[in-house]
Chains A and B, each alone.
Chain A
């Protein structure tokens, strides 16, 4: 089966610009996650969707980050305006139903550099 797809793979922008990332999860997976991975750290959850509803966005900086999953399939994460500290890899993951012991499958990530 096809894995989690993400685009673009790399993005370089200047601070205060906006940027958007796209994710297409594994077909049939109800749960979709966006994680931020800063260099030297493990991934940190930004937002979790169950179908097209938000389950957890407690760690999403809502003043500049937004995300949507309108039809319960693919998702877009946006940063506007970007700050230097947003430089990181943005990972999308999906799982079948989101149950605790389920495996989350990760995409290749989008590497963002903010100058």
Chain B
């Protein structure tokens, strides 16, 4: 069965600090990987995704993630966070082929302070 581990439950950063959120997955096959974000009071929305090609994926709002197959990881990064990045971040995975649902990690809450 697929599973996703997010290492940090709550991260607190000052504005302009760099961000890296860890995500590891467990699955015995080729996968698609996603990062979703939930801003306060808003619904889940896609930040970025990887399904093939360049393992370094760029998303919205300056976020990027790198797929490292050998480590089963898909860490999210941003060089300089802003107060508006305060949100909950979810890593998710599903099988590359077929009509399969997303399996989510528990999420990481990011608080950015001025």
Q: Which residues of A are found within 8 Å of B99, using beta-carbon distances?
A: 31, 48, 50, 55, 98-100
In chain B between 88 and 111, which residues have their CB closer than 8 angstroms to a CB of chain A? 90, 92, 94-107
For residue B44, CB closer than 8 A to chain A, the reply is yes
Q: Which residue of B lies closest to A47 (CB)?
A: B101
Contact B95 A91 (CB under 8 A): no
Contact A56 B101 (CB under 8 A): yes
Q: Which residues of B are found within 8 Å of A43, using beta-carbon distances?
A: 44, 90, 102, 104
- In the complex, A104 Cα to B45 Cα: how many Å? 9
Contact B43 A42 (CB under 8 A): no
Select which of B49, B52, B105 is within 8 A of A103 by beta carbon: B49
For residue A25, CB closer than 8 A to chain B, the reply is no
- In the complex, A41 Cα to B36 Cα: how many Å? 14
Interface bin, chain B = 20 to 34
For residue B63, CB closer than 8 A to chain A, the reply is no
Number of interface residues of A (CB under 8 A): 27
Q: Which residue of B lies closest to A106 (CB)?
A: B44
For residue B4, CB closer than 8 A to chain A, the reply is yes
Best-buried of B46, B92, B102 by chain A (most CB within 10 Å)? B102
Identify the B interface with A (CB < 8 A).
4, 32, 34, 36, 42-46, 49, 51-52, 90, 92, 94-107
- Give 26 CB contacts A-B under 8 Å: A3-B43, A33-B101, A33-B102, A40-B106, A40-B107, A42-B4, A42-B90, A42-B107, A43-B44, A43-B90, A43-B102, A44-B104, A45-B102, A56-B100, A56-B101, A91-B43, A93-B44, A100-B51, A100-B98, A101-B96, A103-B34, A103-B49, A104-B102, A106-B43, A107-B43, A109-B43
